[in-house]
A and B are shown apart, each in its own frame.
Chain A
Amino acid sequence: MISRNSKEKLIGSTRPYKRYCYVIASIIALLTLVNMSAFKSESRLAKFVNPRFSKQDSTISKKAFLQVYRVLMSPRCMNCHPLGDIPLQGDDSHLHFQGVKRGPDGTGLYALKCSNCHQSHNLPGLHMPPGNPKWHLPPANMKMVFQGRTPHQLALQLLDKKRNGGRSVKALIDHITSDTLVLSGWTPAEGVSKPPLTHKAFVNAFNEWINHGAVSPDPEKK
């Protein structure tokens, strides 16, 4: 039988031990949290630096994107992805005549909506409006600007759902492969140039970029 005194002694001696337990448990919990957040940021990085891709893959991917970039920055693509709210026109990418503006949904404003002039097809003749049933700019809440973007910036933007129209990689590939508005860049109106690659070469380069890791070209040195 334990005497009252010795019991108190025993309890007294366990109190510091309990305190140590609490401290150790808190430290373990804290370390677990820190580890989890580190894991989270690593998985974020893994999207861009995937260990299953080699350095060679990275080189191929970057090189392929530079071909993609040439097309995206050509007037047939960039003119509808302007920096401001006014679409661009022609091979010199001048501001659209008539003071046309994007509007909230990208289809223009008031009496100047895209389809007021642009038909479902190109009209014959120089300086006639080009056409497509879906003629529009990106909406005001997601402008998807190409104009002025560097290869590094544009590659990151294309992979970012918050800036690419909410598209997954698969949806991006579908968009550039079969969206009729994208395809219309290769059947331009009279008197304006086509993009610098064929559509097939463009899609191949895009797939090569993705399949070798979707690596963005290095940021430009200032």
Chain B
Amino acid sequence: MPITDNTYLLHINHKEIRVTVQPEMPILWVLRDIIGLTGTKFGCGMAQCGACTIHLDGEAVRSCVTPVSRAAGKGIITIEGLSPQGNHPLQQAWAEVNVPQCGYCQAGQIMSAAVLLRENPEPTDQDIDDAMSGNICRCGTYLRIRKAIHLAAAIQKSRAKQ
């Protein structure tokens, strides 16, 4: 619910931000054009490609079709807020495997993979396919993405032991 007419209190990357926008405005517009968090990308605008994936209360929603009214009062995490130091196991694995080619889809790929690893810390190839098949990569980095997710799972496991 808005605080007042069309003014929403959003919790983005653990910070409270007040925006005054139309209730049906997609969160992606708010993030990129109003707040200036441009890590999340616009791909298709119709929930088909996954480039705009963010976390809304921990779920990998497509921000290009999710109205800001739905996000009010919920926790939004973007690629900028995935880990304060940028050392999330997925980010570390992505760098080690050198996953990106053009890089445009990668923020969405990582955000989707983060949900997978949270719900299934030791995913199989099939689990990875089931989680990631909604994120399209035009450069075809799928094999490196799969490899990096396995590596991230191992990093996450070793950190948990420490």
Contact = CB atoms under 8 A, between A and B. Distances in A.
A123 B62 CA distance: 13
A100 B135 CA distance: 11
**Most B-side CB within 10 Å, residue of A100, A101, A110, A123:** A110
A112 interface: yes
B112 to A, nearest CB: 4
Given A99-B130, A116-B60, A129 B53 contact: no
Interface string A118-129: 011001010111
B30 to A, nearest CB: 16
Contacts of A101: 130
B65 A128 contact: yes
Interface stretch (B11-19, B94-102, B114-122, B150-158): B114-122
Interface string B29-52: 000000000000000001110100
A110 B48 contact: no
B42 to A, nearest CB: 15
B72 interface: no
B65 A119 contact: yes
A13 interface: no
Nearest to A113: B59
Contact of A99 (B66, B111, B127, B129): B129
Given A117-B47, A117-B61, A119-B66, 8 more contacts: A98-B133, A98-B134, A99-B134, A100-B134, A109-B130, A110-B60, A111-B111, A125-B46
* 3 residue pairs, one from A and one from B, having the closest CB atoms: A99-B133, A111-B112, A110-B131
Interface of A: 97-101, 109-113, 115-117, 119-120, 123, 125, 127-129
10 contacts: A98-B134, A99-B129, A109-B130, A110-B60, A110-B112, A110-B120, A111-B111, A112-B131, A116-B61, A128-B46
